[in-house]
Amino acid sequence: MSIYDNLNDMQKQAVFHTEGPLLILAGAGSGKTRVLTHRIAYLIDECGVNPWNIMAITFTNKAAEEMRERVDNLVGFGSESIWVSTFHSSCVKILRRYIDKIGFGNDFTIYDTEDQKSLIKSICKRLEIDTKKLRERAIMSAISSAKNEMISPEQYFMEASVDFTKKTIAEVYIEYQKELKKNNALDFDDLLVKTVELFKSNAEVLEYYQNRFQYIHVDEYQDTNTVQFMFISLLAAKNRNLCVVGDDDQSIYKFRGANISNILNFEKVFEDARVIKLEQNYRSTSNILDAANGVIANNKGRKAKRLWTDIGTGEKVVFRQIDTAYTEAEIIADDMKSNILSGKYNYRDMVCLYRTNAQSRILEEKFMNANIPYKIVGGINFYQRKEIKDVLAYLKTIANARDDVAVKRIINVPKRGIGTSTITKIEAYAAANEMNFYDVLKDENLVNIVGRAAAKIKPFVDLIQLLRTKSVHMHISDVYEELMEVTGYVQELRDEGTDEAKERLENLDEFFNKIVDFEERNEAPTLNEFLEEVALIADIDSLNATDNYVVLMTIHSAKGLEFSKVYLCGMEDGLFPSYMTISSGDPSEMEEERRLCYVAITRAKEELMITSAQMRMLHGQTQYNKVSRFIMEIPEELLDTNLSVRKMGVSEEVKTYNQSSVKQIFNTKAFDPQKFKVTKADSLDYEVGDMVRHIKFGLGIVVSITEGGRDYEVEVDFEKFGTKKMFASFAKLKKV
């Protein structure tokens, strides 16, 4: 039996077509890696191609290692001569041999992000550029984007026109490249840029590699940027045996510089190209695939194709619109526990996907409460992220300045010019005199300890003392907002302007949501109580010694993965797609978001549950959002919107809808003020001492009832949650 007998007809066509340009449009779960590896084996076994003349290139080391392993298993002897590598690793190998042809030493250094930042910082200082207004990372991001598009410093300067900021960045870019050359160094982007420069300027070197790589394979072609496209085009120009594999419907990395036109315009660049579509999916049920097809069909900038499978119809896609984000997290946790108890799935079989990392906070808390082991992929525990740890350190210092670890963490955050030597002197003095670190900072003799640095420390101490005094009378949320304002922490991130900074701002917004929520849930909330609640969550670092845990991740991180059951949460207009995408009015931005939704749906093998919340806290404010427009693009007959509460294993507060009402939900106003209007009852049907039931807190005894002008204030001692005070109109207590 031949190794090619297990391929379907379209896969065989892709494997057996060996000469000339070939575009393999490989839909999600269609076996693209199998096709690539079998094609390489076919070239060697049946076509007599020397392994030395074959190249396979991809994006990540993990993908390259997987491809290498599968090629070795198929080809056997001689497979070590096949060039299997990432783009950047390939370029390093080439440049190590020939970069001297363009004026660099072959022993060049590769700068990492911190090296880049340090160099940019020194250049800005020399050019007298205020890095408080134009951050180093913002400059680095702009330079990286320019290099991805093969835009030189001089060209960038010319295109800046009258834009002062771009002109300034161009000046730094010019000096930055000069310094790199002087230091015989390349940054990560230069590895590709300089290789392309080498090929363009030295025909002999280019011809050597064109002769070496007679058959070129590129995986994940939809993720290539402009400079990667040029690199591949130059290598393939002579023999034209270029095979690219990708799926335009899974192009989701525009923010990293990916250019979807590379795959959409492949036949225009290579007019004699053969296009083969792999549409048979080996991963998911037909209901899941048809849902994905229904969504992605609304994109205009795509190659026409439709995924199908012979696996079977499977379960319908479950959709729930739920009251709040907290209830949404509870429902997901409850459903997971139900699957575990029934023995249907293990924890490792399930994943929870979301649009932004900030959404993980509520999910993490609910999973911990439900004792569900989990792991965050593509991020770290919410409370372990740098910006959150920084803010917590400030709040800990305000609440209890004896926490030396907290004080030392933020004494120079944001930067105040307080160096390591100064901190070392303070630590030594504190140890010798058995004092807390912060007490030394307040000492009248501080100038004798640290000299002129005392003048930099005093504003920090004054800030902490002021906020410590105010925290006694102010709400925690007010303390937080003043802290962010006075320290300039948030403004610094805004000025940075990078994708990383934007994500950190989102996380700080989510932390503010946590504070507001804590205040709403407690009658007289204190800072110490808040820190205690957070500590009980943040200190749970070990999840499970085995790999049997639920995975939490952003959709971007999930690309290439698959799970038996997928939970896709936060499907609301304003969150997914985002307000920024909606307000931009740019069709290409909306199509990128739709592709992201397509990727999320196609991660599911057997079951998919999609949820949205009517009410969610964003940026410290409660918002009422419509159901995501992407839900409306899923054919109604594929949606299960009327599954019983009992079957889901969740509380009675879950709202269910029949299929025809989904459109009505989408088209109605997100927030009806009359719906939330307080109406005081003439009397209550329960008294002090009665047993009552609350929709969230369960059973409790009424402790007191106080009649106010607009409503009754009821105090209830709940069995599991302790004493709570609430307004009767909102509480909707039921006498038992």
Q: Helix H segments across 7-79? A: 9-16, 32-45, 61-75
Question: Which of 533-536's residues contact partners 24+ apart within 8 Å by CB, and which partners?
Answer: 534/383, 534/392
- What CA–CA distance (Å, rounded) separates 165 from 609? 46
Strands of the sheet with 722-727, listed across from one edge: 722-727, 712-718, 698-707, 691-694, 734-735
Of 538, 573, 571, nearest to 555 (Cα)?
A: 571
φ, ψ of residue 133 to 5 degrees: the values are -95, -35
How many Å apart are CA 699 and CA 717, to the nearest integer?
A: 9
Q: Using CA atoms, how far apart are residues 690 and 115, in angstroms rounded to an integer?
A: 68
> Which DSSP letter does residue 704 get?
E
Name every residue whose Cβ is closer than 8 Å to that of residue 539 and which is 6 or more positions away in sequence: none
Q: Over the range 287-325, which residues count as b (16 or more CB within 10 Å of their CB) and which as e?
A: bbbbbbbbbbbebeebbebebebebeebbbbbbbbbebb
Residue 623: count of CB within 10 angstroms of its CB: 17
Integer CA distances (angstroms), 140 to 46, 187, 278, in order: 48, 11, 39
Residues recognised as catalytic: 32-33, 219-220, 250, 603
Check the CA dihedral 602-606-612-618 and report its sign.
negative
d(CA 83, CA 212): 10
Distance CA 171, CA 315 (A): 59
With CA atoms as reference, report the closest residue to 291 among 556, 599, 559, 647.
599
How is the chain split among helix, strand and coil, in percent rounded to 5?
Answer: 50, 15, 30
Are 671 and 720 a contacting pair, CB within 8 Å? Answer: no
